[in-house]
Amino acid sequence: MSFSGNVDETRHVDVVVVGSGISGSAAAMTAARQGARVVLLEKQETFGGSAALSAGMFWTAPTVDAYRARIPLGNPELAARLVGDYEDALAELRASGARVAAEPKLNIMTFGIGYSTDIHAVLEWCRQEVRLTGGETLTGITVTELVHDGGSVTGVTARDAEGRLIRYSASAVVLTTGGFQGARDELTRHIGPNADRLLLRSNPGSVGDGLRLARAAGSGGTTAMSTFYGHLLPYPVRRFETEDYLPYSQYYSGSTVMVNLRGERFADETKGDELLNQDVAFQPEARGILIFDEHVRTTEVIQEPFPGLGSIDRFAIAVEAGGTCAEAQTLDELVGKISVWGVDRDNLNATLKKYAETADQGGGTALGVPVSSTARPPRTGPFYALMVQPSITFTFGGVRTNSSGEALDHDGRPIPGLYAAGADIGGLSNYGYAGGLAPGYITGRWAGLAAAARATIGGTRRTPELINAGRKATDKEAS
């Protein structure tokens, strides 16, 4: 964190937003609408972060009680405001003109409610709102440090594509850099050696910039540092590019029997893929095996998990991608093929037998692992097996904040001038997942609103009349 230094240029704004994903876009737009002069800085060459790679589902917990049941280790203060602000945020998206589905999708990730959106239109709308109020949205700008006057954060130092150092002097800085999933040292520190085996299912720019900047300013730590969001993928894969993120994801894993390389179950499969994905990360070699039958293949495997993703055969795509797989007419034959992979045949047979017995009895515990009352043993041939590996899209731990988006120090006191949102904040999701786009957008609004309240121009924020005058002038120039 810098107090002074040589820079090539100094620019004066009210609010600096670092990162242009859904939380940064919402923070920048909200602050701009409140009268702040905003600059949105994105270090990559394109806007949108990981949000631009998503399926576009704007979802979260339907109630605080549902949140607590699914995420008992989550931050209840943040959750209460998140759930309370959801309908207003949804109405704001509808008013933007971007496509938002009329009907909700229920039981997302087993419990959530949400609506399909045109996420690219939403992101573009946010940036347009910033520009229409006189703000800037810039790519290719990397923030290298926060500026501090000894009492408050007063801006950032950034490096542009030509290598020039630019000082952005501001009343408030909002960190929205998307988490630390790309920072291998951080992942290993918090998750362990198997973190090296996690496939990055994210934009490559989220390498913990926000976390490092906040720590330098005195930010305190949070819970959830070893938990994360991602989906199970085939193992191995010949390639893994952004266009593979959605089709390779094995969303149906909750309808399978899942074992590790010892042939043993280790989790209640019905918890859902995003939780199983984390559980696998702590198994031998961070690998698992999905075992299922023709009934699951012709229903769950080809089911459209989110509106707009389409109905595809995810098992067939996994095989084509290079995943280790097996198919057999009987379950015993399938076990024999899996044993060739080095899995203990006797262990696997005992696991499947006890699982089926327990499921047929209405659920319970099989060899020390829960079996849900809704579990269905594989019975209808042919039978299938797929080796899988975990991925990471974003992390759940990060910068400590309150429900106004203010970054907090180790004693829980606000750090003047510093705010954070989205995947940069920690504890809203914790093993259980409260959603990505909706929490990102909503927490971005919190931070943007609080940052704008701090920001002034000549002692007062610009009035709505001045903002609208700027919009009209911009519209006139465009015409």
Are 218 and 320 found together in one domain? no
Alpha carbon distance 97, 90 (integer Å): 12
Amino acid at 138: L
Q: List pLDDT tens digits, range 180-194.
A: 999 999 999 999 999
Residue 6 is predicted with a pLDDT of 87
Of 335, 361, 389, the domain-final residue: 389
Q: How many domains does the chain have?
A: 2
Are 192 and 311 part of one and the same domain? Answer: no
Do 143 and 175 lie in a common domain?
yes
Q: Would you state the pLDDT for residue 459?
A: 39
Regarding whether 404 and 340 lie in a shared domain, the answer is no
Query: Is 4 within the bounds of a domain?
Result: no
Quick one: 103 and 211 in the same domain? yes
My answer on whether 59 and 118 are in the same domain is yes
Examine the fold and report which residue of 389, 407, 441 is the final residue of a domain before the chain moves on.
389
Same domain, residue pair 426 and 322: no
Residues in the chain, overall count: 479
Distance between CA 385 and CA 402 in Å, rounded? 45
Q: Which of 35-49, 302-316, 398-412 has the weakest average pLDDT?
A: 302-316
Q: Which of 370, 389, 408 is the last residue of a domain?
A: 389
Residue 470: per-residue pLDDT:
46
| Residue for token pair 């926000």 | 210
Has residue 46 been placed in a domain?
yes
The answer to whether 24 touches 130, Cβ cutoff 8 Å, is: no
Long-range Cβ pairs for the range 188-195 (8 Å, 24+) = 190/225, 190/226, 190/397, 191/226, 191/228, 191/281, 192/226, 192/282, 194/281, 194/282, 194/283, 194/285, 194/286, 195/281
The reply to whether 284 falls in a domain is yes
The model's confidence at residue 465, banded by pLDDT at 50, 70 and 90, is: low
Average the pLDDT over 421-448 and give the result.
98
CATH code of 265's domain: 3.90.700.10
Does the global pTM surpass 0.95?
no
In whole angstroms, give the CA distance from residue 281 to residue 259.
13
Q: Are residues 157 and 61 in the same domain?
A: yes
For residues 426 and 6, the model is more confident at: 426
pLDDT tens digits for 355-398?
Answer: 999 999 999 999 999 999 999 999 999 999 999 999 999 999 99
User: Which residues span the domain enclosing 153?
Assistant: 9-224+394-478
Same-domain status, 350 and 384: yes
What is the C-alpha to C-alpha distance for residues 7 and 25, in angstroms, rounded to an integer?
Answer: 27
Q: Is residue 2 part of a domain?
A: no
What CATH number corresponds to the domain at position 451?
3.50.50.60
Secondary structure percentages of the chain, helix, strand, coil, to 5: 35, 25, 40
User: Would you say residue 59 has pLDDT above 90?
Assistant: yes
**Alpha carbon of 166 to those of 5, 81, 214: distances in Å?**
11, 36, 19
Same domain assignment for residues 307 and 247 = yes
At 305, the pLDDT band (50, 70, 90 cuts) reads: confident
Nearest to 30 by CA among 442, 316, 322, 426: 442
In a domain, 3, yes or no: no
Residue 89's pLDDT is what? 98
Report if residue 89 sits inside a domain.
Answer: yes
Reported as a pLDDT band with limits 50, 70 and 90, residue 468 is low
Could you tell me what percent of the chain has a pLDDT over 90?
91
Bridge partners of 234? Answer: 388
Q: Are residues 385 and 250 in the same domain?
A: yes
Residue 279 lies in a domain: yes
Residues 6 or more apart whose Cβ sits within 8 Å of residue 147:
1, 2, 3, 153, 154, 155, 156, 157, 167, 169
Report if residue 450 sits inside a domain: yes
Q: Are residues 73 and 158 in the same domain?
A: yes
